[in-house]
Amino acid sequence: MSRGTEAVARARKAFETGRSKCLEHRIRQLKNMQRLFSERQTEIAEAMKKDLNKSDVGTQLYEILGLEGELNTAISKLKEWAAPRPVEKNLLTLSDTVYVHPEPLGVVLIIGAWNYPWAVTIQPLIGAIAAGNAAVIKPSEVCVHTAKVMEELLPLYIDKELYPVVTGGVPETQELLRQRFDHIFYTGSSPVGKVIMEAAAKNLTPVTLELGGKSPCYIDKSCDITVACRRITWGKYTNCGQTCIAPDYILCEPSIQDRVIAEVKKAVKEFYTENPKTCSDYGRIINQRHFKRILALMEGSSVAAGGDHDESDCYIAPTILRDVKPDAKVMQEEIFGPLLPIISISDVDEAIKFINQREKPLALYVFSQDDKLIKKMRDETSSGGLLANDCLVHYSVNSLPFGGVGNSGMGCYHGKFTFDQLSHHRSCLIKQLKMEGVNSMRYPPHTLKKLGW
Ligand code: NAD
């Protein structure tokens, strides 16, 4: 039996003991995870530095802070979330008890991506534990050091039978996918999302797919372009562009293109100095394969700023591409790197048409001072999330569901949404064996007289 198969069997057996359902057990696990993040900051930060050149502060800010917030919310709200929810009654159920009872699904498989390896792997785990499930955790093999730290640390803090970590690459993931799960929670690319869904279909296993895509960013010429560009620069070049909700490309009128370029350049200098290569806040491309892929995307487009790179260090400078054609190479796939193409459109209607001709994105950004324009963008397009006048930060609002639509994914999570996503909402109707008389009209023989007609 492979390690993965064994881990799934053990998790299933542990789930069958019923201990993951106990509220005290769930809260204890979540508190143990809080302890992990406060005691093991150094190991976590060192691995992140090696994997993605993330600074200690960057790791704390973009990975751990959000998880701590999710843990606090889950711990304080769990009793409320897990309680039966009474629902409205009708005439026939007036004297009955009618409620929805959240119950765990069983054994959940969590497959994580590498770009924010803690956030995208542990956040679903928090919800899986809160909802009373067992969970098999498969961190991305691409973040070699972080996967190892997760494999070593998690069993020291949480129930290792119920929540085993299985490391490995594609063959190990495929082996896992041959097992039967009660839910698969996958974060990664859209093409692999299809592989996951196909494997899940064999057992009718429900899936949550947190995928990616090209998130557009529309800048209205009447907005404060300086502030808009600072926020876009941050959203784009954080983690070297390797963020699922990074603004992928800019849509704006030709009259403001030069301003946009100048303001983004200015913000890049402010955030990452004259030489981002030596700046501790500027990351690296995860590996040579992605480095080559991103460089190749620049072919055929004019570089307005940046463009320099160093293969030995997987460094690509913050880069702006101007007058990019819709059929350019860089517009054919999610960039997932520090290239910012600018595409000229004549007005907001053309921007909307441009967006609607493509797959539904994970995020849609609109910068405008005009509320009507923002509403128009909202009403005439579709995307996982919409954020006006900022980038990325909707991810951190855990009262908002986070997830994609269409090609950018299905299902959602964060806060209570993760709990709900990984629970079965069982409908319960509890009647008494009394008042049998009122049922007489539903029993045969059916006569008009019985119905009073
Ligand atoms: P990926 O799809 O290559 O890998 C993710 C996971 O899938 C890894 O654990 C890997 O082992 C596994 N995997 C890869 N190929 C497989 C195959 N053929 N069969 C079975 N398993 C396989 O994605 P990635 O490169 O790690 O991440 C980048 C993508 O993830 C981007 O598209 C990004 O937008 C997306 N992403 C989305 C979110 C979100 O919340 N929606 C968050 C982070 C990343």
Nearest CA among 42, 39, 40 for reference residue 50: 42
Please give the distance, rounded to the nearest whole angstrom, from the Cα atom of residue 140 to the centre of ligand 1: 8
Sign of torsion, CA 102 108 114 118?
positive
Q: What is the mean pLDDT of residues 340-348?
A: 98
Residue 440: the pLDDT is 87
Tens digit of pLDDT for each residue in 285-306?
Answer: 999 999 999 999 999 999 999 9
User: What is the reported pLDDT for 441?
Assistant: 86
> How far apart are the C-alpha atoms of 382 and 184, rounded to whole Å?
25
Our answer on whether the CB atom of 360 is closer than 6 Å to any ligand 1 atom is: no
Question: Is the CB of residue 188 below 6 angstroms from any atom belonging to ligand 1?
Answer: yes
pLDDT band at residue 449 using 50, 70 and 90 as cut-offs = confident
Contacts 24+ apart (CB under 8 A), 64-70: 64/37, 64/118, 66/119, 66/123, 66/395, 66/396, 67/33, 67/37, 67/118, 67/119, 67/122, 67/123, 67/126, 68/34, 68/37, 69/396, 69/398, 70/123, 70/126, 70/398, 70/414, 70/415, 70/418
CA of 189 to the centre of ligand 1 (A): 4
Mean pLDDT calculated for residue range 111-135: 97
Distance 193 CA to ligand 1 centre (A): 8
Look over the chain and give the mean of its residue pLDDT values, rounded to a whole number: 96
Confidence of residue 1 (pLDDT cuts 50, 70, 90): confident
Band of the pLDDT at 439, cuts 50, 70, 90?
A: confident
**186-215 per-position pLDDT tens digit:** 999 999 999 999 999 999 999 999 999 999
Residue 305 Cβ contacting ligand 1 at under 6 Å: no
Contact 208/183 with Cβ under 8 angstroms? yes
172 CA distance to ligand 1 middle (Å):
14
Is 362 touching ligand 1 by the criterion CB < 6 Å?
yes
Cβ(120) – ligand 1 distance below 6 Å? yes
**Confidence band of 117 (pLDDT split at 50, 70, 90):** very high
| Per-residue pLDDT at 435 exceeds 90 | no
Q: Kind and range of the H or E element at 76?
A: helix 65-82
Would you state the pLDDT for residue 453? 80
Ligand 1, pocket-test mutation among 173, 383, 410, most atoms within 8 A of CB: 173
Mind telling me the catalytic residues?
A: 210, 244
What's the Cα-to-Cα distance from 282 to each of 51, 99, 236, rounded to whole Å?
A: 13, 51, 12
**Which amino acid appears at position 242 of this protein?**
Q
Distance of CA 187 from the midpoint of ligand 1 (Å): 6
Q: What is the dihedral of CA 18, 21, 26, 28, to 10 degrees?
A: -40
Please answer whether residues 216 and 365 qualify as being in contact, where contact means their C-beta atoms are separated by less than 8 angstroms: yes
Per residue in 412-426, pLDDT (tens digit) is 999 999 999 999 999
Q: Give rounded-to-5 percent helix, strand, coil for the chain.
A: 50, 20, 35
Q: Ligand 1 pocket, 414 CB below 6 A?
A: no
Kindly report the protein residue whose alpha carbon is nearest to atom 13 of ligand 1: 170
Cα–ligand 1 centroid distance for 113 (angstroms): 5
Q: What is the pLDDT of residue 406?
A: 97
Q: Is the pLDDT of residue 389 over 90?
A: yes
- Closest listed residue to residue 62, CA positions, set 393, 389, 416: 393
According to DSSP, the residues that pair with 124 across neighbouring strands are none
Neighbouring C-alpha atoms within 13 Å toward the C-beta of 296: 9
Cα distances (Å, whole numbers) of residue 374 to 1, 227, 362, 366: 55, 17, 17, 7
If pLDDT is split at 50, 70 and 90, which confidence band does 438 have?
confident
111 lines ligand 1 (CB under 6 A): yes
Mutation pick for ligand 1 pocket among 120, 196, 244, 364 (CB with most ligand atoms within 8 Å) = 244
Examine the pLDDT at 451 and tell me if it is beyond 80.
no
Residues 160, 152: Cα–Cα separation, whole Å: 11
Q: By alpha-carbon position, which residue is closest to atom 12 of ligand 1? A: 170
The answer to whether residues 212 and 336 touch, using CB atoms and an 8 Å cutoff, is yes
Ligand 1 near 18 CB (within 6 A):
no
pLDDT value, residue 198: 98
Mind listing the pLDDT tens digit for each residue in 272-289? 999 999 999 999 999 999
- Name the pLDDT band for 258 (thresholds 50, 70, 90): very high
pLDDT digits (tens, 9 = 90+) for 139-185: 999 999 999 999 999 999 999 999 999 999 999 999 999 999 999 99
Instruction: Kindly tell me if the per-residue pLDDT of 23 is higher than 80.
Output: yes
Atom of ligand 1 nearest to the CA of 196: 20
Expressed in angstroms and rounded, the spacing between residue 142 Cα and the centre of ligand 1 is 10
Label residue 448 by pLDDT band (50, 70, 90): confident
Cβ 244 under 6 angstroms from ligand 1: yes
Residue 416 and residue 397: Cα distance in Å, rounded?
11
The predicted structure's pLDDT at residue 386: 98
Tell me, using a 6 A CB cutoff, whether residue 103 lines ligand 1.
Answer: no
- Sign for the CA dihedral angle at 360, 184, 291, 64 comes to positive
Q: Which residue's C-alpha comes closest to atom 22 of ligand 1?
A: 170
Atom 27 of ligand 1: nearest residue by CA position: 188
- Report ipTM (2 d.p.): 0.95
What is the share, in percent, of the chain residues with pLDDT greater than 90? 94
Q: Note the pLDDT tens digit of each residue in 40-87.
A: 999 999 999 999 888 999 999 999 999 999 999 999 999 999 999 999
- Residues of the chain above pLDDT 70, percent: 100
Give the residue-averaged pLDDT of 118-135: 98
In short, whether 141's Cβ falls inside 6 Å of ligand 1 is yes
CA 288–ligand 1 middle distance (angstroms): 17
